[in-house]
Structure 1
Amino acid sequence: MLPTHPTRLLAAAALLALAACGAPTEPAPAPAPAAAAQGGHAAHSSAAAGLYAVQSGPLGVVATDSEGHLLYRSDADSAAPPTSACTGACTQTWLPLTVADGAEPELLGVDAALVGRLERADGDDQLTLAGWPLYRHRDDTGGLADTGQNGADGSWFAITPTGGKAAA
């Protein structure tokens, strides 16, 4: 039986209009897979790396990569001019943070004016922070509950977002 009362007719028309508005739409396309890593240090190279300032329990505020790994600087390197002394076997333990040529890192809590790059002997672009070349340790798993490799060999230190050494 069809509604005959004007209010019911109006309500039925409104329901039909609402039902038409809720018609299914085409699903959004799936995101494209990430581009393959570039560069000779495939273990820690990416088209666009990330530098994040995060609070670490024992170290204070430190810089991490986009995967949550602590980043380090070495006293054997130079910040002025940015120079890396870690070559050969050193890069098997201390992985240079490299990016594809022309790629800009994603920054969170890190001043873009402090971020730079240097060209390594193998042609890769390594990110720097306040001039210091950046590395991650091959055994770091990405947690911030411990001190990682801070102070290793008396020359490797977790780096702060301003380029300083993290508190010990």
Structure 2
Amino acid sequence: MKRIALVIGTAVVGLSTLTACGGGASATPAPQNTPAQSTPAQSTPSQSTPATGAAKLSTATVGNFGKIVVDGTGRTLYVYDLDTANPSKSNCDGSCATLWPPLPAGAGTPQVSGIAASLVGTVTRSDGSKQVTLAGSPLYYYANDAKAGDANGQAVGGTWWVIGANGKKITTQASSMNSSGNSGS
């Protein structure tokens, strides 16, 4: 009997770990504005800087979210509810970080446009790499965003959010958009 309880307990813990990042295909529905995908994109998001340069942050108007924070190439950035901002700590590693790649800090001070420089910082991840933060919250890409202006990661798992220039997450739900970013009719 104890063996059965141990097996069931292990299975529950394993499933909890797999769904913790909110990116599992079976754990959360696909965003309404994109077709369901069973696997994350295999390509890494284009980075806003070369490996030796500093990260770049700016703002862009995306969907019905208003002005949100994007990288230097216009790719949407997200924050994760399970991270902490004070002190800054990323809790997205392993398979979570594959689906939600961190915005690397690069070398030097992150460059900003339309964002208060005092809100921008870095945090050291568990693997020793540096990740850019905004108001203490670590910033991430979503692997299923194919191009600048995509915000397919909004509200995934009820824990991933676009972020405003003020450092606050935006919890507005995505409107129905077509691939060019215009409302479908």
Q: Normalization by structure 1: what TM-score? A: 0.69
Distance 1:138 1:48 in 2: 21
- Kindly provide the CA deviation profile for residues 36-93 of structure 1, in whole angstroms up to 9, marking residues without a partner as x: xxxxx99647421111011223111100001111000000001111111101111100
SS of 1:96's equivalent in the other structure is coil
C-alpha deviation, 1:161, in angstroms: 1.1
C-alpha deviation, 1:106, in angstroms: 1.7
1:56 aligns with 2:65: no
Distance 1:122 1:147 in 2: 27
More strand by share: 1
Amino acid at match of 2:162: A
Which segments of 5 or more consecutive residues in structure 1 lack a partner in the other structure? 1-40
Q: Which residue of 2 aligns with 1:73?
A: 79
C-alpha deviation, 1:140, in angstroms: 0.9
SS of 2:133's equivalent in the other structure is strand
1:121 aligns with 2:126: yes
Name which of 138, 146, 158 aligns with 1:141.
146
1:74-89 equivalences under 5 Å are: 74-89=80-95
2:84/2:137 contact within 8 Å kept? yes
Q: Normalization by structure 2: what TM-score? A: 0.63
Identical counterparts, % of pairs: 35
Q: Cα distance 1:107–1:72, how it changes in 2: closer, same or farther (>3 A)?
A: same
RMSD: 1.9
User: Runs of 4+ in structure 1 displaced over 3 angstroms?
Assistant: 41-46
Distance 2:154 2:105 in 1: 24
1:98 aligns with 2:79: no
- Kindly provide the CA deviation profile for residues 1-33 of structure 1, in whole angstroms up to 9, marking residues without a partner as x: xxxxxxxxxxxxxxxxxxxxxxxxxxxxxxxxx
SS of 1:137's equivalent in the other structure is coil
Which segments of 5 or more consecutive residues in structure 2 lack a partner in the other structure? 1-43, 174-185
1:147-158 equivalences under 5 Å are: 147-158=151-162
SS of 2:109's equivalent in the other structure is coil
C-alpha deviation, 1:142, in angstroms: 2.8
Amino acid at match of 1:66: G
